[in-house]
Structures are given as C-alpha cells and as structure tokens.
Amino acid sequence: VAHYRDVLLPLRKTVVDQALLHYNGMFVSLYQLLALKQAEVETRRGYLEALRDYWNARAELAHAVGGGLPTSIAASSSPAAIQPSRPSPSEGTHQHGP
C-alpha cells in the first residue's frame, strides 16, 4: 500500500501530466495520452485493492487475537484520503481555436 501511495501513484500522475503537455504541443497522439491515463487509473485501482486487502487482513487478525491492534503507518492511508486528480480549468484541456 505504501509503495503504491508513495511511488507508483505520483509517478503515474507525473507521466500523465507530462504526456498532456506533449499532447498540447502535438507531439503525442490522443490514443497515447488515453493509454497513459488508463494506466494511471489501473494503478489507482491496484492501490485501492491493496488497501482493501490490508484492512481486511488487519480486521481478521484483530478478530483472531481477540482484541484491537496498535495503530500503524498504513492506518493513515484511509480511502477517504484518496482524492481523484482533477485538472484545473487552465490545464488539462486542449484548446482548438483560430
């Protein structure tokens, strides 16, 4: 979970942001940009699945030992902390104009 949160998600976001700049400069096709965005979404899905598996395993362990478990670092990475990236109005759009 920490690897997804700290390494993979920021890396995918950076790749998509850079590809968007290249797309706006007409160096990358729309299909390449969409493929990179799809990879970012799949990485986010993998993160959520890993987070779900962590919490399920933690709940099963707490039930097996018959009590609460001490808090951990991963406890701070709750699903509520996940914010989907939304481009601002000035970025993320390809302007077609005269």
Mean pLDDT of 24-51: 96
CA angle at 73 for the pair 68 and 6, rounded to the nearest 5°: 145
**Which residues, including other chains, have CB under 8 Å from residue 88's CB and lie 6 or more apart?**
none
pLDDT at 73 over 80: no
Note the pLDDT tens digit of each residue in 40-68: 999 999 999 999 999 999 999 999 988 87
Average pLDDT score, the chain: 82
Q: Are 69 and 58 in contact (CB under 8 A)?
A: yes
pTM of the complete model: 0.67
Q: What is the dihedral of CA 65, 51, 11, 23, to 10 degrees?
A: 180
